[in-house]
Amino acid sequence: MTHKRIAVVVEDFPPLSEQMRTYLQAREFVVHAASDHASAVRILEQCVPHLVCLDLTLPHQSGFELCEHIRSQQRFAATSILVTSERASPEDMAMAEEVGANAYLKKPFTRERFLKYVTALLDGPFASRASVRRLCRSDPPPA
C-alpha cells in the first residue's frame, strides 16, 4: 500500500487556492487548504505535510510568520515550503529564505512551472536548497 503525499495550500485568493489544489490532486496529493495563518496552524496540528505552498500576503499575520512558525518545530524538518507570491523583491526573497522557505515562485505562474517547482522540491536531484536556488535562477519569467 502506498501512502499519498500531503500538501497544505495557504492562499487567501480562493480561485488560486483551488487551482493549486487541482494541480496537486492530479499528482495524487491529499490537499488541505487554509486562507490565513490561524487556519493553517489548525491544519498543521493535525498532519505533517510533505509540502506547504505558502502565500506571503495573508490576512492578520504574514506568510513569513507562518513559515517561521513551521520551521520552529522539529516535526516539520522534512517539510518543503514553496512560497508563492506576487511580491518578488530581492528583500522578500531573502527574507523567505531566512525564515526557512525552500523555494520562491512568483505569481502569476503556469501549471507547468508550479509542478516543476513541486517536483524539484520533493523528487530527486533538486531536493536541496542550493539546487532549488539554481532552479529558481534558471527559470525564465512567465510570458
| Ordered domains of the chain (ranges, CATH) | 5-138 (3.40.50.2300)
Query: Which pLDDT score, from 0 to 100, does residue 140 have?
Result: 56
The residue ranges of DSSP E strands in the chain, in sequence order, are 5-10, 29-34, 51-54, 80-85, 103-106
Cβ atoms of 79 and 53 closer than 8 Å: no
Q: What does the pLDDT read at residue 3?
A: 72
Q: Which residues contact 44 (CB under 8 A, 6 or more apart)?
A: 8, 70, 76
pLDDT of residue 1: 45
Please tell me whether the peptide bond between 140 and the residue prior to it is cis, using omega within 30 degrees of 0.
no
Cell numbers 492578520 correspond to 60
What's the confidence (pLDDT) of residue 83? 95
Going by C-alpha positions, the residue among 58, 142, 54, 62 that lies closest to residue 104 is: 54
Predicted confidence at residue 7, as pLDDT, reads: 98
User: For residue 82, what pLDDT is reported?
Assistant: 95
Looking at residue 124, its pLDDT comes to: 57
Sheet of strand 103-106: strand arrangement? 29-34, 5-10, 51-54, 80-85, 103-106
pTM for this predicted structure: 0.87
Residues (pLDDT < 70) of the chain are 1-2, 124-143
